[in-house]
C-alpha cells in the first residue's frame, strides 16, 4: 500500500514539475494524490480491532477520497490528451463532474435502505456505484479519441494509456469491484487487486512526459519475448527436476553440479532462443516492422558511392523516404549566406536561413536531431521557425555536418500511417545522416570541381571569341571606313538632285530609291560595328514598365510602324525597378518589336508583357505576335550570327540582342 501510494504521489509530482504547460498536470497530481490517500487509508484496517470512531473516520476518508479522486480523474480525461470543446470553460458542467458521484451514491443508498438506520450500511456499498460508469467512460473516451485523432503524438499517448490502464484496472474491476457490488463480497482482496495498479500511473506518466520517442511496439515485443523465456525456464527446470528425481535420484536431494549444468545450458541457449522468439513474435504480430539493419546497410553503401549531387538529392527526397515509410523529405544546402532547397519548387521560411536559430541549434555537436515542437520551445525565433516547418509538412530535422563546416539540413515529414517516430527510427536516421553528410561533402566538392571546369571552358571559349571578334572588329573598321565615305557622297548628291529635279517625277523616284538603299547599307555597317565593338553596359536604375511604355508610344508614332498591327501592353501593376543599361535595352526591345511587325505584313496583334521574377530578383518581358512564326527546324538558329530568313537581312539583329541580354546576366529565348 505504501509503495503504491508513494508511486502515485511521485508520479503526480514528476508530471507536475516536468510536463509542458499545455498538459493538465495539476489535475493529474491532484487526482493521484487523492488515490494515494484512499490507498493509505486502507492501512488503518490492518491493525486489528479498532474503536468505532476510528472505523467511521476511515470510512469517511475512503468515501470522500474515492469520490473526489474519480471526479478529478474524469475531469483530467476531459482535458487529456485533447480537451473536449463542450467542457472548455464551462463551470456548470465541470461542477456536475464533482457533484454526481456523491449524489448517485446517496440516492442509491436512500432508495435501497428504506430506513435511516440502514442508510450508512447501504452507503458503504453504494459509494462504489459511480466507479464502473467512470471506468467505462475512460475506456470509451480514450478509444474513440484514438480512432478519430489524426495527430500521431496523441495516438501514441493513447496507446500507453489504453495498454497500461487496461492491464492495471482489470484485476480491480472484475475481481474486486464488480463482485463486491453484485455479490456483496470481492473475489480477491483490495491489496491483491492493486498488484497491477502501478501500471496505471506509470502509463499516464509516460503518456504525459515521454510519449514522443517511446516505441510501444518494441516494448510489447520485448515484454512478450522475456515472458515466454521466463515461462520456458520455469517449466523446463520443473520438468527436468521431476524427470531426474523419478528416474535417477528418487528421494535423494539434487546435487549442486546438476544445477550448475542446467545454468550452463541456459547460458548457452538463452541468447539464441531470445533472438529466435523475438523474430517469431515480430513476424506474427508486427509484420510491417522495418528491417532497420538491412536498410541502414543498403543506404550507407548507396550514399557512399554516390558522387553527383543530383543523384544524392534523388536518394534523399525520393528513395529513402519511400523505404522508411516517410511521407515527404527535402534537403537544404547552406553556402554562406546563400541556400539551396530541393525540391527546387519548394519554399518555406520567412527569414534567411543563414540567420536561422534552428541552424545555430543544429550546429551544436551534441545535437543530432530536432523534433519540431514549437509549444515546448522558449526561444520565440526558434519556435516560429518550427511552426513554419510544420506548416510546410515537415516534422524531423537532421543536421548535415561536414568535416569542416555545416553543410545543411535534411527535413523529414511525418511517417506514413500517422505513426510517430520511435527511438529506433531516430537512432537509425541520425546514423544514416552521418553517412549522408560525408557523401554530401564529397558531392559538393565534385560539383565545385565541375563548375570550375565549366567556367574554365567558358573562359577559353570567350578568349577565342574575343580574339576572333578583334579580327572582325578590325576588318569592320576598315570596311566601314571604305564604305561610309562613298555612301555619304552618294546620299548627299542624291538629295541635291532630288531638290533640283522635283519636276521630273520618275527621276525623283530613282533618287529616293538610291537614298533608301544608302540608308539601309549604313544600317548594315552600324550593326556590324555594334556587334564587333560591343560596349559593356552602364548600369543605372531603370523602371522597365515605364521604358516599355515610352518605346511603344514612340514606335507607334514612327513612320516604320505598320498601322495594321494593333499593339497592346500587359503586365503586373506597380513600378518595377532594375539595374540595367537603358539604351541597350531600348535597342533590344525595338529590334524585337520591329521583327514582330515584319512577321505580320498584312496586320495582326502584337503584345508586350512584363512581370516580376522574384525567384531571380529580376523581371520577365515577353513579346508575342500573331504572325506565321518560324519553322521548328530553324528556330534553334535564330540567335546565331549571320543567320537570317529575311531576303535583305544581315543576321546580326537577334545576335546583338542576345549579346546585350547576356551582358545583363539575363537570358533570351524563342518559342
Annotate 567-632 with DSSP letters as a single string. EEEEE-SS--EEEE-HHHHHHHHHHHHHHHHHT-TT-EEEEEEEEEETTTTEEEEEEEE-S----H
Distances (CA, A) of 331 to 107, 309, 339, 343: 65, 11, 10, 8
What is the chain's alpha carbon radius of gyration, rounded to the nearest angstrom?
Answer: 43
Q: CA-to-CA distance for 155 and 649, rounded, in angstroms?
A: 74
Query: Hey, what CATH class is 535-663 in?
Result: alpha beta
Distances (CA, A) of 89 to 16, 82, 99, 114: 21, 14, 17, 40
Q: CA-to-CA distance for 374 and 379, rounded, in angstroms?
A: 9
Q: CA-to-CA distance for 476 and 42, rounded, in angstroms?
A: 112
Q: What angle do CA 564, 565, 570 make, to 5 degrees?
A: 150
Predicted local confidence at residue 411, as pLDDT: 94
Please give the model's pTM, rounded to 2 decimal places.
0.45
Give percent above pLDDT 70 in the chain: 73
* Phi, psi for 620 (deg, rounded to 5): -120, 125
- Which grid coordinates are listed for 139? 475506456
Q: CA-to-CA distance for 119 and 498, rounded, in angstroms?
A: 134
Q: Which one, of 514, 454, 457, 449, lies nearest residue 487 by Cα?
A: 514
Rounded to an integer, what is the distance from CA 119 to the centroid of its chain? 63
Q: Is the pLDDT of residue 556 over 60?
A: yes
Residues in contact with 591: Cβ distance below 8 Å, sequence separation at least 6, in sequence order: 653, 654, 656, 657
Pick the CATH number of 292-450 from 3.30.450.40, 3.40.1000.10, 3.10.20.30, 3.40.50.1820: 3.30.450.40
663 or 652: whose pLDDT is higher?
663
Domain boundaries, the chain: 2-211, 219-283, 292-450, 535-663
Q: Which one, of 297, 371, 360, lies nearest residue 334 by Cα?
A: 360
How confident is residue 213, by pLDDT bands cut at 50, 70 and 90?
very low
Q: Is the pLDDT of residue 599 over 50?
A: yes
Averaged pLDDT of the chain: 78
Q: Which one, of 31, 4, 21, 22, lies nearest residue 12 by Cα?
A: 31
Q: Is the pLDDT of residue 217 over 80?
A: no
Please report where in the chains the cell 523581371 appears, as a residue.
619
For 316-374, the pLDDT digits (tens) are: 999 999 888 898 999 999 887 788 889 888 777 777 777 888 888 888 888 888 888 77
Q: Is the pLDDT of residue 591 over 80?
A: yes
Q: Is the pLDDT of residue 84 over 60?
A: yes
Q: CA-to-CA distance for 547 and 582, rounded, in angstroms?
A: 8
- Which grid coordinates are listed for 458? 567558358
Q: Is the pLDDT of residue 449 over 50?
A: yes
How confident is residue 636, by pLDDT bands cut at 50, 70 and 90?
confident
Cβ-based burial of 303 (10 A; exposed 0-12, middle 13-18, buried ≥19): buried
**CATH dotted code for 2-211:** 1.20.1070
How confident is residue 57, by pLDDT bands cut at 50, 70 and 90?
confident
Q: Which one, of 171, 164, 175, lies nearest residue 142 by Cα?
A: 164
3-state secondary structure of 221: helix
- Which grid coordinates are listed for 66? 474515492
Predicted local confidence at residue 509, as pLDDT: 63
Amino acid at each position: 500500500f505504501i509503495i503504491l501510494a508513494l508511486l502515485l504521489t511521485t508520479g503526480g509530482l514528476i508530471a507536475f514539475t516536468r510536463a509542458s504547460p499545455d498538459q493538465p498536470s495539476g489535475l493529474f497530481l491532484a487526482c493521484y494524490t487523492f488515490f494515494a490517500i484512499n490507498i493509505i487509508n486502507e492501512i488503518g484496517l490492518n491493525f486489528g480491532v479498532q474503536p468505532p470512531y476510528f472505523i467511521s473516520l476511515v470510512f469517511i476518508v475512503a468515501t470522500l477520497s474515492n469520490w473526489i479522486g474519480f471526479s478529478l480523474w474524469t475531469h483530467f480525461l476531459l482535458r487529456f490528451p485533447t480537451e473536449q470543446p463542450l467542457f472548455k470553460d464551462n463551470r456548470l458542467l465541470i461542477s456536475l463532474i464533482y457533484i454526481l458521484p456523491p449524489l448517485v451514491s446517496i440516492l442509491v443508498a436512500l432508495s435501497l435502505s428504506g430506513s435511516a438506520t440502514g442508510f450508512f450500511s447501504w452507503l458503504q456499498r453504494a459509494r462504489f456505484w459511480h466507479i464502473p460508469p467512470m471506468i467505462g467512460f475512460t475506456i470509451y473516451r480514450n478509444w474513440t479519441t484514438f480512432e478519430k485523432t489524426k495527430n500521431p503524438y496523441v495516438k501514441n499517448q493513447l496507446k500507453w494509456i489504453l495498454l497500461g490502464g487496461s492491464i492495471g484496472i482489470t484485476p480491480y474491476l472484475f475481481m474486486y469491484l464488480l463482485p463486491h457490488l453484485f455479490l456483496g463480497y470481492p473475489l480477491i482482496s483490495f491489496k491483491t487487486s492493486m498488484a497491477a495498479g502501478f501500471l496505471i500511473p506509470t502509463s499516464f506518466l509516460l503518456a504525459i512526459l515521454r510519449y514522443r520517442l517511446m516505441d510501444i511496439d518494441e516494448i510489447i515485443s520485448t515484454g512478450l519475448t522475456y515472458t515466454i523465456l521466463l515461462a520456458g525456464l520455469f517449466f523446463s527446470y520443473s520438468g527436468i527436476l521431476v524427470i531426474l528425481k523419478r528416474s535417477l535420484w528418487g528421494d535423494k536431494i539434487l546435487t549442486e553440479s546438476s544445477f550448475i549444468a542446467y545454468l550452463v545450458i541456459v547460458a548457452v541457449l538463452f541468447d539464441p532462443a531470445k533472438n529466435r522468439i523475438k523474430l517469431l513474435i515480430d513476424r506474427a504480430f508486427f509484420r510491417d516492422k522495418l528491417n532497420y539493419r538491412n536498410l541502414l546497410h543498403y543506404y550507407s553503401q548507396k550514399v557512399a558511392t554516390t558522387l553527383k549531387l543530383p543523384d544524392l538529392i534523388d536518394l534523399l527526397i525520393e528513395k529513402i523516404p519511400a523505404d522508411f515509410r516517410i511521407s515527404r523529405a527535402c534537403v537544404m544546402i547552406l553556402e554562406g549566406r546563400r541556400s539551396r532547397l530541393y525540391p527546387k519548387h519548394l519554399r518555406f521560411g520567412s527569414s534567411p536561413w543563414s540567420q536561422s536559430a534552428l541552424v545555430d541549434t543544429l550546429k551544436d555537436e551534441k545535437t543530432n536531431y530536432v523534433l519540431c515542437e514549437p509549444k515546448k520551445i522558449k526561444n520565440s525565433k526558434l519556435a516560429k521557425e518550427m511552426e513554419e516547418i510544420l506548416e510546410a509538412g515537415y516534422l524531423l530535422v537532421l543536421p548535415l555536418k561536414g568535416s569542416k563546416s555545416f553543410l545543411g539540413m535534411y527535413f523529414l515529414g511525418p511517417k506514413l500511417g500517422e505513426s510517430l517516430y520511435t527511438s529506433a527510427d531516430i537512432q537509425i536516421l541520425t546514423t544514416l545522416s552521418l553517412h549522408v553528410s560525408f557523401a554530401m561533402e564529397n558531392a559538393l566538392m565534385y560539383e565545385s570541381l565541375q563548375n570550375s571546369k565549366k567556367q574554365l571552358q567558358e573562359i577559353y571559349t570567350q578568349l577565342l571569341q574575343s580574339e576572333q571578334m578583334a579580327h572582325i572588329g578590325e576588318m569592320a573598321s576598315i570596311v566601314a571606313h571604305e564604305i561610309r565615305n562613298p555612301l555619304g557622297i552618294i546620299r548627299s548628291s542624291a538629295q541635291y538632285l532630288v531638290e533640283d529635279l522635283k519636276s521630273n517625277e520618275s527621276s525623283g523616284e530613282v533618287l529616293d530609291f538610291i537614298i533608301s538603299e544608302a540608308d539601309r547599307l549604313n544600317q548594315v555597317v552600324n550593326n556590324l560595328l555594334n556587334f564587333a565593338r560591343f560596349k559593356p553596359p552602364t548600369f543605372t536604375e531603370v523602371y522597365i514598365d515605364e521604358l516599355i511604355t515610352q518605346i511603344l508610344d514612340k514606335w507607334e508614332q514612327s513612320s516604320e510602324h505598320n498601322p495594321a498591327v494593333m499593339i497592346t501592353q500587359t503586365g503586373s501593376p506597380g513600378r518595377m525597378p532594375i539595374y540595367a543599361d537603358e539604351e541597350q535595352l531600348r535597342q533590344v526591345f525595338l529590334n524585337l518589336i520591329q521583327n514582330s511587325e515584319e512577321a505580320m505584313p498584312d496586320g495582326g496583334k502584337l503584345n508586350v508583357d512584363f512581370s516580376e521574377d522574384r525567384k531571380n530578383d529580376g523581371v520577365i518581358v515577353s513579346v508575342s505576335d500573331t504572325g506565321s512564326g518560324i519553322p521548328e527546324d530553324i528556330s534553334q538558329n535564330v540567335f546565331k550570327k549571320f543567320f537570317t530568313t529575311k531576303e535583305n537581312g544581315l543576321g546580326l539583329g537577334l545576335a546583338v540582342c542576345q549579346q546585350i541580354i547576356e551582358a545583363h546576366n539575363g537570358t533570351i529565348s524563342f518559342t
